[in-house]
Amino acid sequence: MIITQESKIKDVLNSPAGHDIIARVLYSVGLDENLLKGFIGNLKLKHLSKLSFGKLDDNFIDSLLNILNSQANVEDDDCEIKKVWWKQATFYEIYPRSFKDSNNDGIGDIRGIISKLDYLKDLGVDALWICPFYDSPNADNGYDVRDYRKIMKEFGTLQDVEELIAEAHSREIKIIVDLVMNHTSDEHEWYQKALQGDPKYSNYYIFKDKPNNWTSCFSGPAWKYVKEKDKYALHLFAEKQIDLNWENPDVRQEMYDVANFWLEKGADGFRLDVVSFISKDNYEDGNEKLGKLIGFTGIEHYFHGPKLDEYLRELNDKTLNKHHAYTVGECPGNGLKMSRLITGDDRNELSQLFSFDHIDNPGKVRFLDDNFDLRKMIPELVRWQTQYSNHCWPTIFFDNHDNPRMISKISKGEKYREVVGKLLALLQFSLKGTPYMYQGCEIGMDNTEFLDMSEIRDIESLQYYEQALKQGKTKQEAFKIIMTGTRDHARTPVAWDDSEYGGFSSVEPWIKANPSYKHINVKAQEKDEHSILNFTKNINKYRKAHQSLIYGTFKQVKTSKDYFVYTRKLDEEYLIVMNLTDKNKKYPVNTKGTLLFNNYPEIKNELRPYEAHLYKIN
């Protein structure tokens, strides 16, 4: 069916793209998509402008129509969940630069990871996602790849990586390599040959005579002038990260060869960096109003381009399938229904993906979300528990290398840090989906109080700061914004003990060590049976031993905004009860059963701030 401005909104919702874009619009203005089930669903699409309080216009609707009428649809069936290793596994993300320094140069490295494999095994980790370790000039800490087959000198050698894979496998830990396929460094051999006029490589990147109005995800224009070619090159991220032209079959084959290189080295799969951006539909100007709403002008032209599904299937056919490799895609902008298109086990595209809508509250973006409300995160989690097809499987994460620490977003300071850390662990290991831990979350590492911009290393934050100054912010105002959203909060060195620099290195690290290492560190928590670390170990171990917490049905029991109450049921039944506020609350339900996990040392006759329980129903 062709969608037009005269189509009803409820008809648009039958399209995965239509559902996710309109849901995103409502989410961005703080409205619940359940409104669409009532009279709003009978409104015509042309009325969307009024529904969004004028934040969208006819140009946006025209852009939406182009997307809707080019996307496929998938009919769901009542299938059983297929049981595979990665649905049962616990994943752990490592940011090598900040994990462990083995040679005391202030920079984490591959041998540092090897030295902590026994710790990770004891934690109950089944697979490691390791952020890029390729040769790179480090404009974006490895996400600007100069050579996909060489290792960054600070991190070690190819032999070190081969040893890491072998040592991990000997402990039954799989290795997931971070593969950056959307762009390369401008120092990559392909780009340098393109600048020299080599006809083969000139079509490896996206050069245009004139730029459009797209903005970079790191702020500012998404185009830079290239004097050597008298053209503009597209960079959706930093200026040194130049987008590859996936329309060129030679580019695709190059990337498939890279994937095969690492799979033949023993990698068990890939985390695919911003993979949903690799297909662009055209290079027309982006809708300005949508850009202000989402944060990036032009994203409607590439967040799920017309050939993305084709490219992912080709990637599977030429690399992944013959190695039985796992994939998880970073897919900003993809909502629940479009995610169904690329992660369904009947689609031959991705195994899983990361959705980020729960990380920031509705209508907020990372650098401006300084009053995070845990209660507003829950409806988004529930959507993925209840509406994601059985052909798909969600990822459950609250931290990664690109976001401030969730523990600090929920509760600033030390008062509730420990109970919030345990609440997040209980949530992560009791929801349906694959838990993805991020280094340091298992000990409740928190945000760092950087003193000024001289201590900031993140290129995104540096560019955002300069942009804020250009917009008239004072240095103090701009720095406050950076402190709210900088990725550096997640990138401070892991605190292994209370020695100088937290045992990460014997010399000053590449980035400031969080002073909290004196009391928040692995060594201290290993000795404390009530620590976040031991709580995480225990609930992770329990989940692995009980299929109901993996494959069991999810049912929300109570919908009051101050509580999150749900059950998981298969051969056994579990009840999870959480207080989502910093106030004492009455128990919302009858808690008959055996209490297995609690984030406070004792039970009282009411729920204390952020108190969380897991019961086994007898």
pLDDT of residue 7: 79
156: left (phi over 0), alpha (psi -120 to 50) or beta: left
Name the CA radius of gyration of the chain, rounded.
Answer: 24
pLDDT tens digits, one per residue of 27-76: 666 666 666 666 667 777 777 777 666 666 677 677 666 666 656 666 66
For the chain, the distance separating the N- and C-terminal CA atoms, rounded to the nearest angstrom, is 51
Amino acid at 52: S
Long-range CB contacts (< 8 A, 24+ apart) of 101-106? 101/493, 101/504, 101/505, 101/507, 101/509, 104/505, 104/506, 104/507, 105/154, 105/505, 105/507, 106/505, 106/507, 106/508, 106/509, 106/510
Q: Would residue 458 show up in a list of annotated catalytic residues for this protein? A: no
Gap between the Cα atoms of 418 and 443, Å rounded: 9
Gap between the Cα atoms of 313 and 508, Å rounded: 46
| Domains of the chain as residue ranges with CATH | 9-68 (no CATH), 85-189+238-537 (3.20.20.80), 547-616 (2.60.40.1180)
Q: pLDDT band at 559, cuts 50/70/90?
A: confident
Q: Which is nearest to 398 in space by CA: 362, 424, 380?
A: 424
| Mean pLDDT of the region 555-574 | 95
- Give me the catalytic one of 93, 273, 380, 402: 273
**What DSSP assignment string belongs to 57-93?**
-HHHHHHHHHHHTT--------PPPPP-HHHH--EEE
Q: Two tokens at 404?
A: 């401030």
pLDDT tens digits, one per residue of 491-520: 999 999 999 999 999 999 999 999 999 999
Residue 453 has φ and ψ, to the nearest 5°, of: -65, -20
Q: Would residue 273 show up in a list of annotated catalytic residues for this protein? A: yes
pLDDT tens digits, one per residue of 344-376: 999 999 999 999 889 988 767 788 767 899 999
* In 268-418, beta strands by DSSP E: 269-273, 326-330, 352-354, 395-396
Percent of the chain predicted with pLDDT > 90: 77
pLDDT at 570 over 90: yes
- Give me the catalytic one of 20, 140, 309, 330: 330
SS3 assignment, position 241:
strand
**What DSSP assignment string belongs to 476-544?**
HHHHHHHHHH-GGGG-SPP--SSSGGGGS-SS--SSPPPGGGGTS-HHHHHH-TTSHHHHHHHHHHHHH
Beta bridge partners of 558: 565
pLDDT tens digits, one per residue of 424-465: 999 999 999 999 999 999 999 999 999 999 999 999 999 999
Residue 336 has φ and ψ, to the nearest 5°, of: -60, -45
Residue corresponding to tokens 């000990």: 443
Of the listed ranges 239-248, 256-265, 293-302, 390-399, the least confidently predicted one is: 293-302
pLDDT of residue 32: 64
pTM, full prediction: 0.92
Gap between the Cα atoms of 413 and 389, Å rounded: 39
pLDDT of residue 447: 96
On whether the CB atoms of residues 446 and 520 are closer than 8 A, the answer is yes
Q: Output DSSP code: residue 349.
A: S
On whether the CB atoms of residues 334 and 353 are closer than 8 A, the answer is yes
| Mean pLDDT of the region 547-563 | 94
Q: pLDDT band at 311, cuts 50/70/90?
A: very high
